Structure 1
């Protein structure tokens, strides 16, 4: 009996740390989720002459490598450096400082203004990853965020909502045999009503089951002179494979990660002729760095808004985080733009949930909350 206990202890001690997910939150923060408690996690920090910081962690990245661009224009790159070492490369904003905090199975990287520590007392770190709100008391567990009233600066803001697919393009077929095009149109209509109620001027690329070329979707938004472009889709994987679940928000980049390419391939397939319209160079020329940064901030706020909204009632909804990828539908937009994957229609439970008005309304309210947050801060 003693030998069994000792062996079991040794096995427990040598279990390698694995990174299960990377979740941006707030304006400038990142949560790294591991497979076990991080108390004994080994870290090594090194500062380079150019200001960058390397943080080497004895862990294995089991999700795709990621690059994050935050509101303060700092960046954090996460990738496997060697077989046993995960490396974080932080390029901080010189006006900000960062802190690392281990808590249960999470490692938090938080950034705050360097002056803030000298001018006001330190606040306790919140235990959750919900977006930090200015002028709000720090609480161990923030209450559900109520639907905000129409902000004063929203009355002249224009938003374009783009329900994906339509007409001859079903999109993904759900587990309950309902097309993606139908589900996303219903969510888009609810979002349209919610944004109108909050004082926005709102346009939709389609109001019914109509096929629209990818290039015409952003052309419509550009012609209307909108401030934001929101494309709504639902995720899926091929029949015969176990489906993941969760909400994700994407912004345009040339990211070639396996995950981004698979999702982009599924959404780009709607119009081959339109995709051929773009040469590789034309596509690269569309990516304006300022717009990319603005889009990444918008994606972070919308993802946080959706997560908080749906988890008021459905606590186990998976937060797939914010990602970047080569989405053709976003390439022509001249304003901050995102593509939202509201869930997996291929997942038996989530696919059915996505067809319910209750869940669709929570998604719409969360997206609207994220838009409010983004415009309030920018």
Structure 2
């Protein structure tokens, strides 16, 4: 149970003008500011239970420690998922600090999955620095990811939170299923659009949905309302992943933290690629031939692949489906009475999530 850092953490966040690279020109939303204040001490409290080597590795991944194991007083990443957990609790009439256990749990699960994803994908860089496995080796990185999964359940707290434990366990199962489909797609031919969406719902949608549902539960929402928040988060998570897939092809490396065309170089069958491959156009066939070639893409081939995805309609499809999912997300909350300030904060955070350079 997370207790010590929560009781002393600030309850509000003053407006600031710092920006993140992917959101240049946008003010940081209040939900993210709350997460920046409340999460670092709570995350540090959790990982301090680990043996020193694992503590430093998990701290490095989370950003609460630097590469030398020294505390940073902050956390890495956009903290979108914990921000949604905090704001959904507030939207249900709870206090922000009530939902810190839920926010910490989803952030630990998110980072554990990133550590394991980087191993499976062979990515050596994340957030403009070496990934955990590249710095510490694969065996220890696997243990670090497993440790954060375990800490997530500890973070949820006392026995009366059994519904939250059950839901987090189900989320992990869905997350693993989504990752399994993602790996299978890389070995097989192009999946259908439906299969691709199922994978995204498991790999990305489930965790954001869990953040919103757990936040609502910790805000004392009744089960039907918590489920509505969960569906809200799931659809937003799918929209976010679709837009992230677009950034993986056309995004600025300064914003994404990954090399130019990294998803294409890995022959990833992301949603825009699948939409293009299954469109039945001349560009679809040329893209399939290009994806079947062996060896690294040269710069010209990366440019060509991106052009073919666009020409086959993959880029337009991903944009339109993302917009549809965003509309569907808000429909889930149409019957929920959310106080004005809480709704404004949720709307601001949603805009921050989806209004990216895509």
Higher strand fraction: Structure 1 or Structure 2? 1
**Could you say which structure has the larger radius of gyration?**
1
Scaled by the length of structure 2, the TM-score of the pair is 0.30
More helix by share: 2
